[in-house]
Structures are given as structure tokens and as C-alpha cells.
Amino acid sequence: MNKYTLNEVQDQLIGKVGTLHRDNFEYELQADLIGKVIKETRKQRNLTQEELGKLVGVQKAQISRLESNAINVTIATY
């Protein structure tokens, strides 16, 4: 029976670190996690997407895209 490390399995299934496929996978994963955190925090504070949008200065649609893991979302920070 062969044994593999987690890194070996990730390299095999996702691609090696630094490759375009691996970078895209990790970017999408982070975007998904950020969206889930935003949604969960918003719900814990009993805010609608529209209310949260007003608090942070964006439209409800922007909040919706973030929560639903729309990859091509950009956020300006000041």
C-alpha cells in the first residue's frame, strides 16, 4: 500500500504550487471562504444585504456577488 503526503496529493490533483491551475484553484477557494464569512457575519448581525451594502458603501448586488462567490468582484479599499 502506497502512502502519500497531503502535499503530494494536492500536487497530483490540483497541480504544483506556482502553476496557473493551482493558483486559480487557491484564488477561487479563498473567494469562496471570504463570501461565506461575509454572509455568516451579516446574518449574525441580523443585516440584510442592502443594509450591509449601505454600511460599507456598495450596492446590494455587490454584497450578493461576494456572498455567492462571484470571482470577478473587485473591492476598492481606502
**53 inside domain:** yes
Going by pLDDT thresholds of 50, 70 and 90, the confidence category of residue 69 is confident
Q: What pTM does this model have?
A: 0.70
How far is it, in rounded angstroms, from Cα 58 to Cα 76? 10
> What range defines the domain where residue 11 resides?
6-67
Is residue 35 in some structural domain?
yes
* Cα dist from 2 to 5, 23, 54, whole Å: 10, 28, 55
Domain-embedded: residue 74: no
**Strands annotated E in the chain:** none
What are the tens digits of pLDDT across the range 14-49?
A: 999 999 999 999 988 888 899 999 999 999 999 999
Q: How many domains does the chain have?
A: 1
Find out whether 70 and 41 touch, Cβ atoms under 8 Å: no
Residues of the chain with pLDDT > 70, as a percent, come to 88
Amino acid at position 33, single letter: L
Q: Which are the contacts of 69, defined by CB distance < 8 A and separation ≥ 6?
A: 28, 31, 32, 35
